[in-house]
Structure 1
Amino acid sequence: MDILPSDLSVRRLYEAMTAIITPRPIAWVSTVDHEGVCNLAPFSFFNGVGANPPTLMFCPANRADGTAKDTLANIRANGQFVVNIVTEEIFGEMKHSALEIPSEEDEFTLTGTQKTPSAVVAPPRVSNVAAAMECELLTSMQLGVGPGGANLVVGRIVSIYLHDDTLDADGRVDPEKIATIGRMGGPRYTKTHERFE
C-alpha cells in the first residue's frame, strides 16, 4: 500500500511515522522560564546532528490548541536547554513528565525528580541521569502550524555531563553501561540490552 501524507489526518500520519521510525532515542528536555519556573518534558523526535560543531536536534510539536509547548517557548525566550538522556532507571519519572500541566507548574516537582545546577546554562539537569548535554540555541524553525505543527530546534552542545558509572577505565563512555530506552509506536518503549556488531 502506498500512502500520500495529504490523505491522512495529522494524528494518523503521526501514528504511521512513529510506528516505522523506531526505535527513537528520547530527549528529556529541561528548560526554565523568565520567572525561574522549570519545565521538564520528553521528546522522541530527537537525535545528534554532528560533532563539528557539536550539535543535536529535537522537534517539539504544538499543543492540541496550536500553541507552542512550554519547552519551545522557554527556549525561544532564553536560548538555553538541557537534554537529559533517558535510561531504564528513570523511565517512570520521564513518562509522568509528559503530562500537560499549566506553565506555572514545575515538572521536576510534579514527578519528584531531583534537579542539579548545570555547569554552563541556566536550566538545571536531572540529578540521577547517566548523561546530559547542555545546549545553547543554534537555530529554531517553525515547520508547521496549528495542532501538532512541527518545530525544529537545533542546539549547540556547550557542556556534557557523564555519570562516573558510565565510564570505562580510560575515562571514555562505555555504551554497555548506559541502559538507554527507545520509543516505539504508540505507548510502547524498548530496552537496548541486545546489541551486536
Structure 2
Amino acid sequence: MVRIDPAHSSAADIYRLMVGAIVPRPIAFVSSTDANGVGNLAPFSYFTACSSNPPVICFCTAVGSDPRPHKDTLSNIRATGEFVVNIVSEEIAEQMNACSASVAPEVDEFDLSGLTRLPSELVRPPRVAESHVQMECRLNQIVTVSDKPGGGLLVLGEVLLFHIDEAVLDGDKIDPARLKAIGRMGGPTYVRTHDRFDMTRPK
C-alpha cells in the first residue's frame, strides 16, 4: 500500500487523489441569481443529501487561488439565501459541461448553454427545464471548512419543493433507468448509471 501524508503533499496532489478515489460523485447543477436578478448555473460534484426530515441537501464549493477565489454561485446564495439543485441526466451532459467554464459574473450560463429557464414557485432562481428532478432550496447554513486555496465551503439548503418529471417515475419511486443520471469521476471522466446491482440489507 502507498502511504500519502497530506501534511507533506500539495493541495493539488491531494485534490487529484480525492477525486480519483471518491467516485462516482453525483452532480449538483445549481441555479442561482445575484441580488440584481442576473442568473448563474454551475455544476458541483461534491454533493449529497444529509437529512430527510426536514429534507436538506448540501454541496461544496471550492476556494480558488485566483483574484476571485469564490464561485459566483456562493456569492449569489449569500446574497439571496436561495438556489435550485437540478439533477444532471445524460441528455444534458454537454450543456452542463459548458457551464463549468470560468466566465465573468455578468454572463448567464443559461444563455451560454442553451438550457431553458423554468420559473420556480417558491424561490427566485429559475429551474433547468431539461432536468428531470429539480429541488427548490432555501439556505440553511454555510460552513467554512477551509478558506485556504483548495479549501471548501459547504452549502446546506432545505428543499422547499421537489419537481419530478413523471417520465422518470415508477409508481412512487424514481426509476434510475429512466433518470439516466451521470456521475463525476477523476479528471474529465464521467460515468453513466446503467450498470447496477441489488443487495438486500441484512436484518
TM-score bin, normalised by smaller chain:
over 0.9
The match for 1:153 is 155
1:117 aligns with 2:119: yes
Q: Following the alignment from structure 1 to structure 2, what is the Cα–Cα distance between the partners of residues 148 and 114?
A: 32
Q: Following the alignment from structure 2 to structure 1, what is the Cα–Cα distance between the partners of residues 27 and 4?
A: 27
How many positions carry a matched residue from both structures? 196
Gaps of 5+ in 1: none
**Percent of aligned pairs with the same residue?**
45
What secondary structure is seen at the aligned counterpart in 2 of 1:144? coil
1:81-118: CA deviations, max 9, x gaps? 10000010000000010001000110100111111001
The match for 2:183 is 182
The match for 1:33 is 34
1:133-159: CA deviations, max 9, x gaps? 111110101111232220010110100
1:131-150 pair list within 5 angstroms: 131-150=133-152
TM-score (norm 2): 0.93
Q: Pick which of 65-74 and 31-40 moved more.
A: 65-74
Q: Following the alignment from structure 2 to structure 1, what is the Cα–Cα distance between the partners of residues 190 and 148?
A: 28
Please give the root-mean-square deviation of Cα atoms over the aligned residues, in Å: 1.1
The match for 1:92 is 94
What secondary structure is seen at the aligned counterpart in 2 of 1:194? coil
Gaps of 5+ in 2: 199-203
The match for 1:105 is 107
TM-score (norm 1): 0.96
Q: Following the alignment from structure 2 to structure 1, what is the Cα–Cα distance between the partners of residues 173 and 21?
A: 32
Task: Choose the corresponding residue for 2:130, options 128, 131, 137.
Answer: 128
Q: Following the alignment from structure 1 to structure 2, what is the Cα–Cα distance between the partners of residues 88 and 64?
A: 31
Q: Following the alignment from structure 1 to structure 2, what is the Cα–Cα distance between the partners of residues 117 and 63?
A: 31
Contact 1:67–1:146, Cα closer than 8 Å, also in 2:
no
